[in-house]
Amino acid sequence: MFWTFVNEITAVNQAKRFYSFLSMFAAVGSILAGFILKLDNVRTNFDQGLKFVIIAIILILVVYNYFTSDIKANPAYYQIEQKPKKVKVKMSFIDSMKFLARSRYLMLLSILVIGYGLVIALFEAVQKAQIQQYVKITGDNTIYAGIYSDQQIAVGVLSILVTLFLATPILKRGWRFAASATPVTALVMTALFFTFLRFGDALDGFLKSFNVTALHLSVQVGLYNVVLIKSVKYVLFDPTKEAVYIPLDEETKVRGKAAVDGVGSRLGKSLASVLVTTMATLLGGGDIANIRTPIVLMIIAVIVCWLIAVRTLGRLKTAAEEKHEVEVTGAKTVQVSK
């Protein structure tokens, strides 16, 4: 809903300038969430954190109400194209799939969303199994809050740093280059993490001399791998994904986004859960640690498909932007003539 709102009031030539900036504020929220998880009453009882959720929801409603009021008062500052809004149509899962199937453009975009959902869910399945094993050995359940609070803070800080120093140069290299940053990062980080898991036990004796176990270090490596992948996702994947909708007509933009976000993100995570559960039951004896190799191979295959989709969608996006620019220029010329 947020990005649909932003897309409606943002021109194509403004997307590169503002989208990464908006994603940086999402990073600020992640940092705040990390510090909230460090509070004593929240760390020992997650239910106490619900009050912060309620406060955040109230703030969202207040700020959104301010924007909608200001848009009505000053439409020229926001509305890029002066045309009547079309009625939004609610679509079921089946209708969403049919709508995506009719558009190669949106189908490729959904592959990007499904790909990220699959990769991060498969990766975190192994990472969370490592955390559970570590907590079981230590016997301290409060470690969960500490681990995830550090992760949220690190994601936020790293996202801001990437936004300030890397996002603009990467985005200036073009949409395709920026959109490829997330899958390439995921590929590199996944390879490093699983390489450490594979050979970490061999280093256990050496690590104990530093009062560190291989299991503890694997938890930290997995944690910061997730941090880096999510940071790049917030700063580059989200803005490049949302920029794809801008050249589309109003109906395709609204219905397409609802279909891609509603189906793509859920389908990716759900499919990952089904795959992990099935493989763990049939191949791993119920233990995720026994199916690490198949998971790595699946992640690599998904990332390859993801990169192919980025390449093809990049060409279609360029053609759509050129067509959109011609239509807008033509409409302005007709209006001036009148």
Give 326's Cβ-side CA count (13 Å radius).
6
The winner for highest mean pLDDT among 136-145, 159-168, 171-180 is 171-180
216-255 per-position pLDDT tens digit? 777 877 887 888 888 888 778 988 898 888 888 877 888 8
Q: Of 49-63, 174-188, 239-253, where does mean pLDDT reach its minimum?
A: 239-253
For the chain, how big is the Rg over CA atoms in Å? 22
Q: What pLDDT is recorded for position 331?
A: 55
Burial of residue 145, with CB atoms counted within 10 A of its CB: 0-12 exposed, 13-18 middle, 19 or more buried:
buried
**pLDDT of residue 210 exceeding 90:** no
Q: What pLDDT is recorded for position 83?
A: 47
Topology of the domain comprising 2-80+101-332: Growth Hormone; Chain: A; (1.20.1250)
Predicted structure pTM score: 0.72
Burial of residue 55, with CB atoms counted within 10 A of its CB: 0-12 exposed, 13-18 middle, 19 or more buried:
exposed
**pLDDT of residue 49 exceeding 50:** yes
Six token digits for residue 177: 């280059």
Six token digits for residue 255: 């219905």
Amino acid found at 251: E
Distance CA 320, CA 315 (A): 9
86-143 per-position pLDDT tens digit? 445 566 778 778 888 888 999 999 999 999 999 999 988 888 888 888 888 877 777 7
